A = this chain, B = another copy of it.
Amino acid sequence: MSTQLPIDSQTNEMLEVRPGKWTLVVISELRDGSRRFNELRRALGGISQKSLTTTLRDLERDGYISRSAFATIPPRVDYALTALGEELLELADGWRRFALRNRAHVVAARIRFDGLGTSVSIHVEEE
């Protein structure tokens, strides 16, 4: 096998490689230990409870987080990373470091690109 293993659609689908808008944010928020539903909700800022619910359920379904419900009054539910979730957290961190490191670079590239649009044709090269 010649290390020819590009990300294929299969892998993409199977493991939710393309996370929803909040997936990695939730994973990151659980880095320091378990959190309750509304704790997460507050910590995350703009998330709707529906999105949080579905994000959490999807993550639980795939085994990235565990859900512990206590039948107390008021009810209480704790969410925490599983071992697999911690691996995912590491990936998220790598992604975050990349983002922080290259933020300026990308923003600049974007501005440069957007600035070119107004002036006629795209630059062309001859061979």
Beyond contacts A9-B45, A12-B25, A68-B125: 15 other A-B pairs, Cβ-Cβ < 8 A, are: A3-B31, A9-B25, A15-B99, A15-B102, A17-B96, A18-B21, A61-B110, A69-B124, A70-B124, A71-B124, A84-B106, A84-B109, A87-B98, A87-B102, A94-B94
Residues of B within 8 A of A46 (CB): 9
Interface residues of A in 1-38 (CB under 8 A from B): 3, 5-9, 11-12, 14-21, 24-25, 28-29, 31
Q: Is B24 in contact with A7, judged by CB distance below 8 angstroms?
A: yes
With contact pairs A5-B96, A99-B14, A121-B71 given, residues A61 and B91 touching in the complex (Cβ less than 8 Å) = no
Interface range for A: 35 or more
Tell me how many chains of this kind the complex includes: 2
| Shortest distance from the beta carbon of A55 to any chain B beta carbon, whole Å | 12
Instruction: Indicate whether A105 reaches chain B with its CB closer than 8 angstroms.
Output: yes
Q: Is A69 in contact with B7, judged by CB distance below 8 angstroms?
A: no
With contact pairs A60-B113, A70-B125 given, residues A99 and B17 touching in the complex (Cβ less than 8 Å) = yes
Q: Who on chain B is nearest to A3 by CB?
A: B31
